[in-house]
């Protein structure tokens, strides 16, 4: 069933408001059965039932429940002439037209109502919303100014401006406009939630805002215990303060209310991982994948979890899925390359590092060195030299990058490198170059020299570059081999 669209920015609340208002009409007015003075039974004549706005709204609701918006709109053909220009019913019709994406028809109705009564803020709110949906920013801003000119605290207008600032990450200004919206409607759920969100993001620099955000979300839940997003943000606040058990409890309440929300399961997995509950984290991210299997993020998180638990083949499969659904996710290629090296899947690793090269904009020498290494490990010395020769032609001959790749290409000339590497100021760069010198010796038979340089890398205690993991794995493998022997 095609349903009414949820209107953003708080601009359209007409359908719900009118429905509630009509349900509260006096029974006599609603049903057209007000008591009339009667003298005798003979005075009573059979009458056709009179039109009732209350009944009409009920018919609209039933049409929406069982059919489509078009079915509901068709009921307007049965309205008596006396009600054809009824403002309430026309506003309701405009909201239905908006939900049916018939924006021009809705605009025509609202413009006519505004021309008849310039004080009708519901019509102006709808015009602003229509302009927003049509991407007409100038018209939308014009209507918002009209609303604010009539009432500086108009909730709908202030909430729209608040969202503008929120989307621009100006949370302090967004907060001010949400507060203004709450002056007229202190229990407006959307405005309260926006205020809480703004305070949550401001809490990154001002811890006191976390308390204010928490109080706001709790206020929402006091009025509406089924409001899942409030639980979600209470979880985020707890997590930001390293209270992961509380965060887990809060997000699980959100999930109980809305068990098909992708983001909730993503957050749940994160909190469980911080708590060391790896199985629960895996289950949460697996559930997120089942909800939205063609979105990459849960695969990336689960891949990292598998990697952390040394489940490398499962991690590789998840990284492949990351790239299936987001081919531009650069770091997945690097992760595949590193894990494939560890698994001695040389072709797979080379292809991943080749993609890293294609996407890299910084000239990172790590990728050409790893591609060259993989060619050697594939016993394809000819391609190793052809590939590295092409890269060498583009490098500065006086650079350490050139010197290292030259050694890989020539299989010789490494003796001056330790002194050159030792002179590097950047710690990460120095560590990477020590790793590649160790890798060179590993390839060409200098096992003890390789261990010496791998040890220098591991002793840095600085896993800020992927080569650190490879050096660590290599040293662990040597240690395990020594125990076996």
How far is the CA of 196 from the CAs of 189, 192, 271, 357, 447, in angstroms?
Answer: 10, 6, 21, 43, 59
SS3 state at 39: coil
User: What's residue 484's pLDDT?
Assistant: 61
Q: Compute the distance between CA of residue 57 and CA of residue 74 in angstroms, rounded to an integer.
A: 13
Task: Give the containing element (helix H, strand E) for 160.
Answer: helix 155-167
From the list 299, 34, 8, 275, the residue with the least C-alpha distance to 133 is 8
- By the 8 A CB rule, do 5 and 103 touch? no
Mean pLDDT, range 152-180, rounded to an integer? 97
* Each residue's pLDDT tens digit, 260-296: 999 999 999 999 999 999 999 999 999 999 999 999 9
Q: How many CB atoms lie within 10 A of CB 419?
A: 8
Percent of the chain with pLDDT over 90: 83
Q: How far is CA 42 from the centre of its chain?
A: 72
pLDDT in tens, 373-399: 999 999 999 999 999 999 999 999 999
Residue predicted with more confidence, 18 or 485? 485
Question: Residue 232 and residue 249: Cα distance in Å, rounded?
Answer: 10
Give the rounded percent of residues in the chain with a pLDDT score beyond 70.
88
**pTM metric for this prediction:** 0.81
Which range scores top for mean pLDDT: 45-54, 104-113, 458-467?
A: 104-113
Instruction: Give exposure, 232-241, as e/b (b: 16+ Cβ within 10 Å).
Output: bbbbbbbbee
Please say if the pLDDT value at position 126 is more than 60: yes
Give the per-residue pLDDT at 50.
82
Q: Longest Cα pair distance anywhere in the chain, in angstroms? A: 123
Residue 485's pLDDT is what?
57
* Mean pLDDT computed over 175-193: 98
Confidence bin at 51 (pLDDT 50/70/90)? confident
pLDDT tier at 91, thresholds 50, 70, 90: very high
pLDDT digits (tens, 9 = 90+) for 299-355: 999 999 999 999 999 999 999 999 999 999 989 999 999 999 999 999 999 999 999
Spatial CA neighbour of 17 closest among 188, 158, 230: 188
- Neighbour count for residue 78 (Cβ, 10 Å): 9
Position 74 pLDDT exceeds 60: yes
Position 12 scores a pLDDT of 40
- Is-contact 143 156, C-beta < 8 A? no
Name which residue leads in pLDDT, 9 or 142: 142
Name the DSSP class of 275. T
∠ CA 63-69-73, rounded to 5°: 80
Give tens-digit pLDDT for 306-318. Answer: 999 999 999 999 9
Rg (CA), the chain: 33
| Secondary-structure breakdown of the chain: helix, strand, coil percentages, each rounded to the nearest 5 | 75, 0, 25
Q: What's the token pair of residue 212?
A: 């204010």
The pLDDT value given to residue 477? 84
């Amino acid at each position: 069933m095609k349903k009414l669209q949820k209107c953003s920015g708080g601009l359209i609340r007409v359908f719900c408001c009118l429905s509630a208002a009509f349900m509260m009409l006096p029974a006599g007015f609603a049903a057209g059965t007000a008591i009339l003075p009667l003298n005798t039974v003979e005075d009573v004549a059979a009458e056709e039932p009179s039109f009732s706005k209350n009944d009409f709204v009920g018919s609209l609701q039933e049409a929406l429940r069982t059919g489509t918006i078009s079915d509901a709109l068709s009921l307007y053909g049965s309205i008596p002439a006396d009600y054809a220009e009824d403002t309430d019913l026309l506003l309701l019709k405009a909201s239905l037209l908006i939900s049916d994406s018939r924006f021009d028809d809705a605009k025509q109705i609202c413009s006519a109502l505004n021309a008849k009564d310039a004080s009708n803020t519901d019509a102006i709110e709808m015009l602003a919303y229509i302009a927003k949906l049509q991407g007409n920013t100038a018209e939308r801003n014009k209507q918002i100014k009209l609303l604010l000119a009539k009432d500086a605290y108009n909730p709908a207008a202030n909430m729209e401006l608040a969202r503008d600032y929120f989307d621009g990450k100006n949370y302090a200004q967004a907060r001010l406009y949400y507060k203004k919206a709450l002056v007229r409607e202190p229990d407006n759920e959307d405005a309260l939630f926006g205020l809480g969100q703004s305070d949550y993001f401001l809490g990154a620099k001002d811890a006191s805002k976390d308390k204010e955000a928490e109080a706001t979300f709790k206020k929402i839940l006091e009025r509406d215990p089924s409001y899942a997003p409030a639980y979600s943000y209470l979880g985020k606040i707890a997590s930001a303060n390293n209270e992961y058990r509380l965060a887990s409890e809060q997000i699980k309440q959100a999930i109980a209310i809305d068990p098909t929300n992708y983001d909730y399961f993503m957050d749940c997995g994160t909190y469980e991982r911080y708590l060391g509950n790896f199985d629960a984290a895996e289950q949460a991210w697996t559930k997120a994948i089942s909800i939205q299997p063609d979105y990459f993020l849960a695969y990336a998180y689960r891949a990292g979890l598998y990697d952390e638990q040394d489940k490398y083949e499962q991690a590789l499969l998840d990284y492949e899925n990351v790239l299936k659904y987001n081919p531009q996710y650069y770091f997945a290629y690097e992760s595949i390359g590193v894990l494939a090296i560890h698994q001695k899947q040389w072709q797979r690793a080379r292809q991943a590092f080749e993609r890293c090269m294609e996407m890299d904009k910084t000239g990172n020498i790590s990728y050409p060195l790893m591609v060259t290494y993989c060619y050697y490990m594939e016993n394809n010395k000819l391609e190793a030299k052809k590939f590295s020769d092409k890269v060498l032609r583009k490098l500065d001959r006086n650079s350490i990058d050139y010197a290292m790749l030259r050694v890989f290409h020539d299989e010789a000339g490494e003796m001056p490198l330790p002194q050159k590497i030792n002179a590097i100021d950047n710690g990460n760069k120095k560590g990477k170059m020590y790793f590649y010198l160790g890798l060179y010796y590993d390839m060409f038979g200098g096992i003890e020299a390789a261990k010496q340089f791998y040890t220098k890398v591991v002793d840095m205690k600085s896993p800020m570059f992927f080569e650190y993991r490879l050096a660590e794995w290599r040293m662990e493998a040597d240690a395990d081999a020594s125990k076996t022997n």
